[in-house]
Chains A and B, each alone.
Chain A
């Protein structure tokens, strides 16, 4: 147990000690080697790099250097990432074997290991993390501590204003003024729907009942999304602290965080955060001598996408089959165990402590008129810089994809971006300058969603894209209501027919009408938004659908069953690469002469198309 005074002392001492992590001008002799321990870097063996650094330092007895595990830096595609502070030297793609060189050259001799530096989009070598164009337009609020602190050390969290917001709430603010501050900040739910957070808190506070719950939705399930995962992995205490604040604000003394079991690192770190907070007396009875008590528990999700839907999540916590409840009643009135329950997403909570400490005015100065603050996106797909980005609301899609993401690789063209995962819609080129905010995205047929942002180049077939997302929805539908259970399956079947060349006249209309009924009649958000990928691709790429249906042709050559692989004689140089690589022996031709594909042997695998350096082979 630590008294408030002791915690304040830790904050002061530790902050000084860790100043070099954030102060680029720090002049001390100490150096910190930060090794990313986010999921991406962990899977490319960053823990081994961490161990290797420690081993060498110990072995060689190198003074004044500390190896630190941190959360995600964001540039996941360049991992494993190692950053040396205070210099901010940014090494990417580091391997275990590189550790010695980094120590000897950089740490001991103050020389940069150039071969481990990363190239920016304009091909220049980037020395310091801050100089990377990827970070230029970003603003880290929710991810503030990610990549700075060791998420497994409560003292490091405390050092960077950790649990200061809670202190402020408990000693300087009433529950009402906390809610007032959140409301004023303009924060809206980051789970996707964008409900005003302050309003939600206030409903829960006003709801009748002495027993209330705070729940954190960490069941991030969109394909390609890892925002919440990264926040918990990199800064678990900020979420926990916000949950405690929420408990104080609405009058709850128990919290649950529902983490999918596929996020073992996040779950482990959050559990440790709970344990450490308990040890410090930040969780438990009569926190810091006040009459406010709060406890928190981790609950695992088994990986059902629908459990990200708040009522299905509550059912699952209660130990039942994860399927949604009809709303109303809303969780604020009858939630967990039928008690008033506040349920927010990880990223929403991650903003709360910042708002309390920096003030609602500061927060609402970021963003647009209706969407305040920042939004974290998991940027993926056909884009150069794949990773985690946090931008102020109102940033355009173009800025994210080109300025931050570094544009489209392989000299391809941008075709569309999908926000909101399977619940969102695709956004075509003409809307690249749409500012990212709740309303604007909705207007163009997509949605904010939780923050998945998949970029697609011009080789991607939009019918196939819709089919992919519907396949996901069909797999993940809980099966409770008819429109979602059978309707999405029928949508998928129609799309499959179209991509198989069996589409018929009227199929597009069928897709639209069925989609509209599914949207209106489904029980929960999963069904209500499931047709978005279909409707948005029809809206913006109807000609592609028509080409599949009428001409039995996939303009992108992605739909194998519609492929007619042939070599354009005028373009073929007879390099023979296609023949050599064809796994079916379907291509014939002599070097230097035009080659030919035998359609009876061709298995439409597309290898030849990819291999042809002259783009002479068409699908």
Chain B
């Protein structure tokens, strides 16, 4: 332990603690901006500078480690003046259009301006500017709002191992750029959206689809169906000030109805179909000695990643569409037929914790019923925006249930939103199919938890099945290297691009750097989904009555011809850098 003094208060903390962390322990707040715990610890923005007796100049508290007897002052005139100047300088080089910014109200820079009560920008001058990149279906990058904190760069590089963006040029001309200044659409970006989650301001945002959804809702010719992914309910409440880890499923469904959607369905049902199809495919591969390990396919950023980085390993990827695409295909085929609705009039909106789903929707071979499976994808954040635009008092809404008959879903589907969830859901079904027995304990603890890579060996009858679960693309890379080099003997691999899975997806509510440093957001959001699972009556996908009915009445066998046509897809090899369209 190390003892130090901060603003006259004696603090005892473990060795290796930073001044920032130590100060927070005694309720002394130090403003930060570029700091993102474990991801961007660079001390670049100089917002968090403090005075340390005996040290030259001002010291960045976010990275300076404490030492015995250290005397720290976090609020001397000199410190405040320096921070104010830094803030002033950042603001002077920022497109200050807060009122019309998507991050208005949830912007770390705006918060700082408020905290410092700036009455003027003192050092006005030239601003860096550049073209807005909105070519991709998923992500928009606005360099005019960028404050060069580099949180996105570190996220892309260190957390995800992608390096699609980095700092270009130098000095005042510094900018975040891509290879040859190409659009993110044309480089090795996977659209995981983690950079958006890291951006303290509005320089990185999702491609807005709210406008088109409103348009569809107002079009009397459209039958607008909305479906929501499992993780959305675990995050949406945060947008309305509810605590992290609130299950807002009931209120969400009510709000969606109030917004005017004709039907409100649960993507979880789609997830159950995914399990049926994927489980069947896995069993088929296992029993026929076909390409193993099989890798899950429900994460579109992951799919883009393998297409860009390991195209030779594509045969390992399950051909199953992701749950919402499967569901969309069924809505425009089975459901349309059953309800007597012209499928061309059905407009399917998916609410996803993800921005890559926006891209996935536009992929080829995602139109099983002859129409685009899904017409629009909005993120959790965009849904919150729609609810706010409609002035619905979300917090006080009554709970309500998804619409029948397509609304029924199992606990297995709910945990799709957590890393390891797809694996666990699949195992519940596969294990039963292999052994013929129902299992008492359905929790596969070995694939749960916060670790980025979780390996397990499971006994299925006489067969030992080796599985691995990875979340975060850097971890995915580790597994891919193992497979590519022939070292791996896995049978089944689950990969989610976002660390922690969809609950931490790039479309989820954006939390401040401080929240991320002090709250285990992943655990709290995951808990919501595990609770839903635990309280579900039906916890195995193959027992979902909707599935049984749809297979019996319409699809035939899981993995059969019709199911394949509607619910499976194909992949392509992608060049990392597309110079042709530019």
Residues on the B chain within 8 Å of A306, using CB: 170
Residue ID in chain A nearest B51 by CB atoms: A520
B90 touches A486 (CB 8 A): yes
A479 and B170 in contact (CB under 8 A), knowing A521-B49, A521-B85, A521-B86? yes
- What 1/0 flags go to B78-107 for Cβ under 8 Å of A? 100110011001101100000000000000
B85 touches A479 (CB 8 A): no
B171 touches A479 (CB 8 A): yes
Residues on the B chain within 8 Å of A477, using CB: 170-172
Task: Report the separation of the CA atoms of residues A474 and B57 in the bound assembly, to the nearest whole angstrom.
Answer: 21
B81 to chain A, nearest CB (A): 6
Residues on the B chain within 8 Å of A476, using CB: 170-171
The reply on A407 being an interface residue by CB < 8 A is no
A490 and B171 in contact (CB under 8 A), knowing A481-B44, A482-B44? no
- What 1/0 flags go to A342-362 for Cβ under 8 Å of B? 000000000000000000000
The reply on B423 being an interface residue by CB < 8 A is no
The reply on A522 being an interface residue by CB < 8 A is yes
The reply on A513 being an interface residue by CB < 8 A is yes
A486 touches B44 (CB 8 A): no
B167 touches A490 (CB 8 A): no
Q: Which of A304, A321, A480, A516 is the one whose CB lies under 8 Å from B44?
A: A480
The reply on B58 being an interface residue by CB < 8 A is yes
Task: Report the separation of the CA atoms of residues A413 and B171 in the bound assembly, to the nearest whole angstrom.
Answer: 37
Stretch of B6-14, B121-129, B334-342, B484-492 with 4 or more beta carbons under 8 angstroms from chain A: B121-129
Task: Report the separation of the CA atoms of residues A514 and B124 in the bound assembly, to the nearest whole angstrom.
Answer: 12
Q: Which of B42, B43, B126, B167 is the one whose CB lies under 8 Å from A489?
A: B126
A493 and B44 in contact (CB under 8 A), knowing A326-B63, A521-B58? no
B92 touches A486 (CB 8 A): yes
B167 touches A517 (CB 8 A): no
Task: Report the separation of the CA atoms of residues A474 and B58 in the bound assembly, to the nearest whole angstrom.
Answer: 22
The reply on A229 being an interface residue by CB < 8 A is no
The reply on B148 being an interface residue by CB < 8 A is yes
B85 to chain A, nearest CB (A): 4
Task: Report the separation of the CA atoms of residues A28 and B57 in the bound assembly, to the nearest whole angstrom.
Answer: 61
Residue ID in chain B nearest A487 by CB atoms: B89
Task: Report the separation of the CA atoms of residues A475 and B170 in the bound assembly, to the nearest whole angstrom.
Answer: 8
A311 to chain B, nearest CB (A): 12
The reply on A483 being an interface residue by CB < 8 A is yes
B42 to chain A, nearest CB (A): 8
A489 and B44 in contact (CB under 8 A), knowing A517-B86, A520-B58? no
Which of B43, B57, B172, B173 gathers the greatest number of chain A CB atoms within 10 Å?
B172
Task: Report the separation of the CA atoms of residues A479 and B149 in the bound assembly, to the nearest whole angstrom.
Answer: 11
The reply on A259 being an interface residue by CB < 8 A is no
Residues on the B chain within 8 Å of A488, using CB: 171-172
Task: Report the separation of the CA atoms of residues A48 and B93 in the bound assembly, to the nearest whole angstrom.
Answer: 53
B45 touches A482 (CB 8 A): yes
Which residues of chain A from 496 to 524 have any CB-CB distance to chain B below 8 Å in the complex? Answer: 510, 513-514, 516-523
B48 to chain A, nearest CB (A): 10
A490 touches B125 (CB 8 A): yes
> What are 23 A-B pairs at a CB distance below 8 A?
A306-B170, A477-B171, A478-B170, A478-B174, A479-B148, A479-B169, A479-B173, A480-B44, A481-B44, A481-B45, A482-B89, A482-B90, A486-B90, A489-B172, A490-B125, A494-B123, A510-B122, A514-B85, A516-B81, A517-B81, A520-B82, A521-B57, A523-B43
Known A326-B43, A475-B171; 10 more pairs at CB < 8 Å: A328-B64, A479-B148, A480-B42, A482-B86, A487-B85, A487-B89, A489-B126, A520-B49, A521-B57, A523-B43
9 pairs of A and B residues whose beta carbons are closest in the complex: A479-B174, A477-B171, A517-B85, A486-B89, A490-B123, A489-B172, A493-B125, A521-B82, A521-B46
The interface of chain B, by Cβ under 8 A from chain A, is 42-47, 49, 57-58, 60, 63-64, 78, 81-82, 85-86, 89-90, 92-93, 122-123, 125-126, 148, 167, 169-174
